[in-house]
Amino acid sequence: MAFAIIIAILLIWTFVNRPAQRQEAPEPVVKDTVVEPIEIAEEQHVPVREDTIVIDRRHIRLVLSDYGGSLTSFYLKEYDIDIVPPGRHLFVSTLKDTDGAVVKMSYEINDDSVVFFHGDEKELMKTYRFDDGYGFSLRVAGDTLNHALSLNAGLNITEPKNKSDDLRNFNVYIKNEKIETVTKRIKDSYVYEDDLAWFALRTKYFILIVDHVGGIEKVNFRKFPGEIEEPQTRDASFGCYYMGGAKDRYGAEIFSKTDLDIDVLLLPMDRDHLAKYEKGYEEIASGGFWGPISRVIMAVLNFIHSLIGNYGFAIMIFALLIKLIFFPLSRQMILSQHKMQMVQPELKKIQQKYKNDPQRLNQEMMHLYKTYKVNPLSGCLPLIIQMPIFFALFRTLTTSIEFRQANFIFWITDLSLKDPYYVLPISMGIMMVVQSLTTTIDPRQRLMVIFMPIVMVWIFINLPSGLQLYWFTYNIFTLLEHFITKRGGLK
């Protein structure tokens, strides 16, 4: 029963695991206006020669282009990622009176700003301002403004070694009175015309936030296939993880008829970091139903990491702590399983004797359990109690940015990726076989003893190595636990 419950949990989680969907607000009321989005060709050719300006700040490095006053690079130094797809542009300006064509703009460079302008009379002025934070402010102004700001290139895949898992977490969020995801509303495009405080485009580990200061008339969100250059994004050829989930990326166009003011931030999916802005960004990283438990687990792991400086060893120590905390319950489960195995011969006799009398059968079974002081449910109770921790731990070890590119030892250089040589999941399966062989009495269960570890290895084969390491370590401690309990230790 324990194996069946664990497998059911993992299988269900594998195929339905998505970033937590917040309750969506009712559809905004469509105003009595005709939506006439300015079409921006995604494959529009960039001029062979474009002028670029490099802005280097404490946390970020930007490369601006005179092609629509846009960004060709938005680089986050601490995490070594660029959120702009290669060869593409974000925050591209177009004007309706140019039939949606991207305009080449002149520019001026100041101490803390870059000003792009279009036309002899500077009919359109676009000002980027920078500080030492994680982004910039952008103001677009003009006398007769009918302007679109394009993010149609979408966000870059920042995890090239695990593209499918990265794409599974791409999402679009909007903050008005509350925070909601609008990803499911975007079939091909979705025009949002209600008030909004900010919107955000998310990858697995990073989030691009556009904070609305003023001037946004509407936002047109778009969906397109996740491939940027490579046609293939599915990494796992076997095993049950990374085989499902979305494969789409998302872009946006911001429309304005008056002066436009926005603040733009590129932030890691770190709840504490996001909470510092006090604008509700941290709700995107809330973790859903299991979020509170997940945050406690992460706090413990971070504390251990602060002492030893290695998240791999922190995971192993955490596995030991969990085993020690639940040892009394696990010991009771082991003893209950052993008693149930011992009474199996008598139980079979009763079942055979009263097979045609269900009422008498139940009475005799209850009498047998009472005589030998056996509770059939006590074996599963410890597992049920630990289930919330297991769910939260699964989410923590598979989504937390702390494990991104976190080195352990030897060949495991990134705990957010699977073990490249499959040593951990196979070793885990071997440990499960050894554990089962030392605890199983009924010879008829031998086939299950071999089959179940194979299933578990298949489930874990493509999971992040951080989770594989936890389960491998936990199995070692479980084997020691059985050895101690079998000899009557720690009563």
**What is 341-401 written as a DSSP string?**
HHTHHHHHHHHHHTTT-HHHHHHHHHHHHHHTT--TTTTTHHHHHHHHHHHHHHHHHHH-G
pLDDT for position 331:
72
**For residue 59, what pLDDT band results from cuts at 50, 70 and 90?**
very high
State pLDDT tens for residues 359-389: 888 888 888 877 777 776 665 666 677 788 8
Residue 366 CB: number of other CB atoms within 10 A? 11
Which residue in this structure is represented by tokens 């309990």? 485
Provide mean pLDDT across the span 76-91.
95
Provide mean pLDDT across the span 285-301.
89
- State the DSSP string of 436-451: HHHH---GGGHHHHHH
**Residue 461: what residue type?**
I
Distance of CA 419 to the CA centre of its chain: 19
Cα 446 to Cα 440: distance, rounded to the nearest angstrom:
8
**For residue 26, what pLDDT band results from cuts at 50, 70 and 90?**
very low
pLDDT for position 373:
72
Cα 450 to Cα 478: distance, rounded to the nearest angstrom:
18
Asked whether the predicted pLDDT for residue 278 surpasses 80, the reply is yes
**For residue 235, what pLDDT band results from cuts at 50, 70 and 90?**
very low
pLDDT for position 443:
60
Cα 39 to Cα 2: distance, rounded to the nearest angstrom:
56
pLDDT for position 37:
38
From the list 96, 115, 116, the residue with the least C-alpha distance to 104 is 116
The answer to whether the beta carbons of residues 126 and 93 sit under 8 Å apart is: yes
**For residue 27, what pLDDT band results from cuts at 50, 70 and 90?**
very low
Partners of residue 94 on adjacent β-strands: 102, 148
pLDDT for position 10:
57
Provide mean pLDDT across the span 436-440.
67
Cα 381 to Cα 347: distance, rounded to the nearest angstrom:
22
Distances (CA, A) of 250 to 75, 203, 238, 422: 19, 10, 28, 33
Looking at 163-245, which runs of residues are DSSP E strands? Answer: 171-175, 179-181, 189-192, 198-202, 206-214, 218-225
Asked whether the predicted pLDDT for residue 67 surpasses 80, the reply is yes
Measured between alpha carbons, how far apart are the two ends of the chain, in Å? 25
Cα 305 to Cα 311: distance, rounded to the nearest angstrom:
6
- Among 143-147, 402-406, 434-438, top mean pLDDT goes to 402-406
Provide mean pLDDT across the span 242-254.
76
- Among 41-50, 105-114, 118-127, 231-240, top mean pLDDT goes to 105-114
Asked whether the predicted pLDDT for residue 244 surpasses 90, the reply is no
pLDDT for position 142:
79
More confident residue, 443 or 121: 121
Asked whether the predicted pLDDT for residue 291 surpasses 80, the reply is yes
pLDDT for position 9:
61
pLDDT for position 144:
54
pLDDT for position 395:
87
pLDDT for position 462:
86
pLDDT for position 12:
63
More confident residue, 378 or 76: 76
Mean pLDDT in the chain? 81
Consecutive H or E run containing 262:
strand 260-268
The answer to whether the beta carbons of residues 427 and 470 sit under 8 Å apart is: no
Q: Which of 52-56, 314-318, 395-399 has the lowest mean pLDDT?
A: 395-399
Cα 103 to Cα 101: distance, rounded to the nearest angstrom:
6
State pLDDT tens for residues 139-174: 998 765 678 899 999 999 999 888 888 998 999 999
More confident residue, 132 or 355: 132
**For residue 473, what pLDDT band results from cuts at 50, 70 and 90?**
very high
Query: Which residues have CB under 8 Å from 376's CB, separation 6+?
Result: 340, 369
Provide mean pLDDT across the span 334-342.
71
Cα 89 to Cα 69: distance, rounded to the nearest angstrom:
9
pLDDT for position 242:
47
Q: Which of 1-10, 87-96, 177-186, 424-433 has the lowest mean pLDDT?
A: 1-10
The answer to whether the beta carbons of residues 379 and 1 sit under 8 Å apart is: yes
Q: Which of 79-88, 241-250, 366-375 has the lowest mean pLDDT?
A: 241-250
Provide mean pLDDT across the span 222-251.
61
Consecutive H or E run containing 12:
helix 2-16
More confident residue, 391 or 38: 391
